[in-house]
A = this chain, B = another copy of it.
């Protein structure tokens, strides 16, 4: 992608209400644009990051047998009354349609997915099933002010599983835990993201959250240094300040942001809709459910909170908008041709490249923009490097630069990229 054609530019004018690191850097870098409190447009570079995160999530959901669907945002009031949440779900947007019928704007989808599966699942032979979507959700938050960490309109992956019994649910729940671990690993968030015990429901003693350590977080968790799980403060008192898993008292208090939440629902929603199946003995039984949430936009915000320095964002390679930021400082026609030829070689080899071909930007401006945007590998081509038949290469996370020969530039950069995390 040619930077000269990109309609966005790096910016200095950002909303005073956006005080978070992620909103600041993502706005200044041209990834997102604030329309109103908690409501953002994803600009070309930002949409690329979001799509990469969502694709990782999609692949891992497919691996655990999830079937992808797309459910509506407009949801009838009756469905929310059936579960008793029409009046208790406090951030629910409500809207009347032209037939004077009330609807919720989907904040979550138990109220849709349960009666949906009820239409198709009748027998134990139809179970288990797992259904997910990656879709835009709406929550009427009072004071959204943490950028992508808490939005009024945001992207969410929600997986729902349906089982004949709790043994099956427990086993699937563990498979999803493994999928979540792979997602955070692949998004560059392993090591700072903890499986966290949180309050359960009527059906299970605990639910599980995934919490990423960051000062921007809204939660307090206690990380067990011995067994590497965490406990949400909300249940600490019940636990006598011991790790729920290994009973160690060596716990470290941390601020963290919830980036996922999985829950054994049991029969809570199947009871509400009378969703039953017929078992091997001809008996009707309620379907056992699990739900598994994860927010791609929130993950994007959490990555920026935890992967940035004073100069800007430092994207993990797996979710970076591009792999290479090729910066041309050339002015003469012969040099410009060489820069263009390097760009063509890179995109020809399938290496996603942002090409800073802007004629009217100074070198210092280009370097500052590159640090702010945070693409993993910066490649500078200038009259000076060309005099030696070379380009200059620097990883965004490092300070050292090195030179690579123009001969075999694709192979050389491919090797450099392999060394980038």
Q: Which residues from chain B contact A71 at a C-beta distance below 8 Å? A: 35, 41
Query: Which of A136-144, A326-334, A362-370, A404-412 touches B?
Result: A136-144
Determine if B74 and A152 form an interchain contact, defined as CB atoms under 8 angstroms apart.
Answer: yes
CA distance A131 to B40 in the complex (A): 16
CA distance A5 to B131 in the complex (A): 11
Q: Which residues from chain B contact A69 at a C-beta distance below 8 Å? A: 41-44, 47
Query: Which of A116-124, A286-294, A348-356 touches B?
Result: A116-124
Could you pull out 15 A-B pairs where Cβ atoms are within 8 angstroms? A5-B67, A7-B117, A8-B120, A11-B119, A35-B71, A36-B76, A39-B74, A41-B71, A41-B72, A44-B69, A47-B69, A73-B138, A91-B98, A93-B95, A105-B105
Q: Which residues from chain B contact A13 at a C-beta distance below 8 Å? A: 119
Contact string against B for A residues 215-258, beta-carbon threshold 8 Å, 1 for contact and 0 otherwise: 00000000000000000000000000000000000000000000
Contact string against B for A residues 81-114, beta-carbon threshold 8 Å, 1 for contact and 0 otherwise: 0000000000101110111010101000000100
Determine if B141 and A98 form an interchain contact, defined as CB atoms under 8 angstroms apart.
Answer: yes
CA distance A125 to B360 in the complex (A): 10
Task: Output the least CB separation between A103 and chain B (Å).
Answer: 8
Q: Which residues from chain B contact A52 at a C-beta distance below 8 Å? A: none
Residue of B nearest to A152 (CB): B74
Flag whether A70 is at the interface (Cβ < 8 A): yes
CA distance A11 to B122 in the complex (A): 13
Flag whether A261 is at the interface (Cβ < 8 A): no
CA distance A339 to B129 in the complex (A): 24
Determine if B67 and A44 form an interchain contact, defined as CB atoms under 8 angstroms apart.
Answer: yes
The CB with the most chain B CB atoms within 10 A, among A120, A121, A129, is that of A120
Determine if B76 and A7 form an interchain contact, defined as CB atoms under 8 angstroms apart.
Answer: no
Task: Output the least CB separation between A151 and chain B (Å).
Answer: 9
Q: Which residues from chain B contact A73 at a C-beta distance below 8 Å? A: 73, 136, 138, 153
Flag whether A60 is at the interface (Cβ < 8 A): no
The CB with the most chain B CB atoms within 10 A, among A8, A70, A94, is that of A70
Given known contacts A6-B67, A153-B73, is B97 in contact with A140 (CB within 8 Å)?
A: yes
Q: Which residues from chain B contact A41 at a C-beta distance below 8 Å? A: 69-72, 112, 116
